[in-house]
Amino acid sequence: MSGYVQGASAAEYVPEKVKKAEKKLEDNPYDLDAWSILIREAQNQPIDKAQKTYERLVAQFPSSGRFWKLYIEAEVNIFIFFSY
């Protein structure tokens, strides 16, 4: 069942590029190319799924205003979406 990870209720597809990026981060948690892949993937996910990636990102780079901005924008966008 390649490309899937076991979830609480059902298997969830994980793109190969994301798995490779995660592997790169195991070797080097500061690999910006790998983080870029994960960020792009997170931006295409619902915030409840992307939140873990954003939390890891700002934990790894706590002084990066750019990464905090990405996280905040994702949160604000979902707030605006549900406000209408």
Residues of the chain predicted below pLDDT 70: 1-11, 80-84
Record the pTM: 0.77
Q: Rounded to an integer, what distance in angstroms lies between the CA atom of residue 34 and that of residue 4?
A: 19
Q: What is the pLDDT of residue 27?
A: 98
User: Contact 21/38 with Cβ under 8 angstroms?
Assistant: yes
Picking from 20, 15, 81, the residue whose alpha carbon sits closest to that of residue 47 is 81
Q: Which residues contact 28 (CB under 8 A, 6 or more apart)?
A: 34
CA atoms within 13 A on the CB side of 64: 16
Classify residue 34 by burial, with Cβ atoms within 10 Å: 0-12, 13-18, 19+: buried
Q: What is the pLDDT of residue 1?
A: 39
